[in-house]
Amino acid sequence: MFAHNKRLMYTVRVSETNPKLGSLMLEQFGGPQGELAAAMRYFTQAIAESDPKRKDMLFDIATEEMSHLEVIGNIIVMLNKNVKGEMAEGIKDAELLRTITEGGESHVASLLYGGGAGLINSGGAAWSAGYVDTIGEPTADLRSNIAAEARAKILYERLINVTEDPGVKDALGFLMTREIAHQKAFEKALYAIDGNFPPGKMPGQAQFESRYYNLSTGEGDARGPWNQGDSWEYIDGAQSQAAADGGDGSASVKLTPEQAKLWNASAARTASRADGNPQTGAELGRKRSS
């Protein structure tokens, strides 16, 4: 059971309205790295989680992300507050037109949502459940969660850099910092699982799991801890172009005699001749036009 606390998790103080800035803030409301996507990701993970300790953590963080959604939504509404009144009362025609078309998706937020916070990103694309990439394996999902929090932090940094409003900067700084806290929590939970790498239960094939294939050629080949040292077998040159299993690199399938007969008949019927030079429609058309 959920209960809504009417106080925001962080106080929102917007110095002046700015619909253009409000449209940029939509990225963290209805975007792929936004707060709703995070809340739904962790909420669905929590429901399916078999470990009671991780379940509790995921429910806590999912609920906090909903409170973050409320904070960023209120920032958007405050930035659009002048538009909401002017749109509703139908005043200042020319000035209102300039206001709602000054950039970003401010015209969408103004006309479609009346200055409210729609579940769209800053480009106007509708929120999608496809943003939730849960796969149901904690050692994979926790890694994905860490990456999601990192991406969200970067977006908050970028949003902080495009506003001079001290109140907005302050609230965004809080939200950005909470992304760091969540990264730490998810990473601690991941490494609290013994044998968390590789993800899942099945081990890799020993002869392949530590190979690095140098499959790019030319100037710029680089070596580093990602492809050298005791942890790696470096495969270079012609050897990197050969089939990894030592076979001929072809594809084959066993067919029954009847299946093979039908396949051969189909292949013979659709085969291209290597001899001759058949005339094409394009060539006929070229001759007529010349």
Pairing of strands 211-213, 233-235: parallel
Active site residue: 49, 70, 105, 182, which one? 182
Residue 77 lies in a domain: yes
- Separation of alpha carbons 219 and 217, rounded Å: 7
Residue 96 lies in a domain: yes
Residue 184 lies in a domain: yes
Active site residue: 27, 49, 70, 149, which one? 149
Kindly tell me if the per-residue pLDDT of 108 is higher than 90: no
Instruction: Please indicate whether residue 43 or residue 99 has the higher confidence score (pLDDT).
Output: 43
What average pLDDT does the segment 23-48 reach?
96
The amino acid at residue 41 is R
- Separation of alpha carbons 155 and 32, rounded Å: 11
Residue 166 lies in a domain: yes
Kindly tell me if the per-residue pLDDT of 96 is higher than 90: no
Please give, one letter per residue, the 3-state secondary structure of the chain.
CCCCCCCCCCCCCCCCCCHHHHHHHCHHHHCCCCHHHHHHHHHHHHHHCCCHHHHHHHHHHHHHHHHHHHHHHHHHHHHCHHHHHHHHHCCCHHHHHHHHCCCCCHHHHHHCCCCCCCCECCCCCECCHHHCCCCCCHHHHHHHHHHHHHHHHHHHHHHHHCCCCHHHHHHHHHHHHHHHHHHHHHHHHHHCCCCCCCCCCCCCCCCCCCEEECCCCCCCCCCCCCCCCCCCEEECHHHHHCCCCCCCCCCCCCCCHHHHHHHHHHHHHCCCCCCCCCCCHHHHHHHHHC
Residue 182 is a catalytic residue? yes
Q: Which residues contact 22 (CB under 8 A, 6 or more apart)?
A: 75, 76, 77, 79, 80, 106, 109, 115
pLDDT grade for 285, boundaries at 50, 70 and 90 = confident
Residue 35 is a catalytic residue? yes
User: Residue 81: what pLDDT?
Assistant: 83
Active site residue: 65, 70, 86, 105, which one? 65
Low-confidence winner among 43-52, 86-95, 280-289 (lowest mean pLDDT) = 86-95
What average pLDDT does the segment 5-31 reach?
93
Residue 149 is a catalytic residue? yes
User: Residue 116: what pLDDT?
Assistant: 80
User: Residue 290: what pLDDT?
Assistant: 67
User: Residue 86: what pLDDT?
Assistant: 57
Instruction: Please indicate whether residue 72 or residue 240 has the higher confidence score (pLDDT).
Output: 72
- In the chain, pLDDT over 90 holds for what percent of residues? 71
User: Residue 251: what pLDDT?
Assistant: 94
- State the average pLDDT for the chain: 90
Active site residue: 27, 49, 64, 68, which one? 68
Answer whether 0.75 is exceeded by the pTM. Answer: yes
Residue 179 is a catalytic residue? yes
Kindly tell me if the per-residue pLDDT of 112 is higher than 60: no
What average pLDDT does the segment 97-116 reach?
59
Counting the structural domains of the chain, the total is 1
User: Residue 115: what pLDDT?
Assistant: 74
Residue 68 is a catalytic residue? yes
User: Residue 264: what pLDDT?
Assistant: 97
User: Residue 19: what pLDDT?
Assistant: 85
User: Residue 119: what pLDDT?
Assistant: 92
25: CATH: 1.20.1260.10
| Structure-token match 């908050």, residue found | 156
Q: Are 145 and 184 in contact (CB under 8 A)?
A: no
Residue 272 lies in a domain: no
- In the chain, pLDDT over 70 holds for what percent of residues? 89
Residue 174 lies in a domain: yes
| Structure-token match 């700015």, residue found | 18
Alpha-carbon torsion (191, 195, 199, 205), positive or negative: positive
Cα angle 160, 163, 164; round to 5: 115
CA dihedral 116, 33, 191, 48 (to 10 degrees): 60
Active site residue: 35, 49, 64, 70, which one? 35
Using CA atoms, how far residue 170 sits from 64, 75, 98, 175, 207, in Å, is: 18, 11, 28, 9, 52
Instruction: Please indicate whether residue 177 or residue 276 has the higher confidence score (pLDDT).
Output: 177
| Domain residue limits at 158 | 19-191
User: Residue 13: what pLDDT?
Assistant: 97
Residue 110 lies in a domain: yes
Residue 143 lies in a domain: yes
36, two tokens: 């709703």
Active site residue: 27, 64, 105, 179, which one? 179
